[in-house]
Amino acid sequence: MKRSFIIGVIGGFLGLIAALFIIITATSNDLTLSGVQAALFSSMGLMGAAISANETRFAGWMLLSSAIWILITAPLAGTLTIIYLYIPGIICLAVAGLLVLLEKEPEEKTQ
């Protein structure tokens, strides 16, 4: 297994755990919506980590975009205090995306 896969899976699960915690303890509809959006983008990060071995560029962009969208959805709830719950997942997803994008493409052998 590659480092980018492991870090991406860890980031996706951290994002899902934080999103589920926000959904369960939400006191307003805005917090619930932010948690649902973060859960969707965390699952997109998990999918990006899963395909990182075959589709490197696409998986890298999926991982980076999921980290960015989770970062954007947190302030939509009207408070920045919940972003602290998402930070570990965001960092792991962004690092995994950068690792995937920075690794060299395997050269195909033609015969």
Q: How do residues 50-61 score in pLDDT, each as one tens digit? A: 998 888 889 999
HSE value, Cβ hemisphere, 13 Å, CA-based, for 59: 23
Name, in order, each residue with C-beta under 8 angstroms of 26's C-beta and a sequence gap of 6 or more. 32, 35
Please compute the mean of the pLDDT values over residues 59-79 and round it to a whole number: 87
Please compute the mean of the pLDDT values over residues 57-69 and round it to a whole number: 93
pLDDT of residue 104: 75
In this model, does residue 7 exceed pLDDT 80? yes
From residue 51, how far is each of 9, 64, 65, 68, 80 by CA, in Å? 11, 14, 15, 19, 32
Please compute the mean of the pLDDT values over residues 78-107 and round it to a whole number: 86
Name, in order, each residue with C-beta under 8 angstroms of 101's C-beta and a sequence gap of 6 or more. 56, 57, 60, 61, 64
Distance CA 3, CA 76 (A): 32
Residues above pLDDT 70, as percent of the chain: 93
In this model, does residue 106 exceed pLDDT 70? no
In this model, does residue 41 exceed pLDDT 90? yes
In this model, does residue 22 exceed pLDDT 80? yes
In this model, does residue 49 exceed pLDDT 70? yes
Residues above pLDDT 90, as percent of the chain: 56
Which token pair is 63? Answer: 């991982």
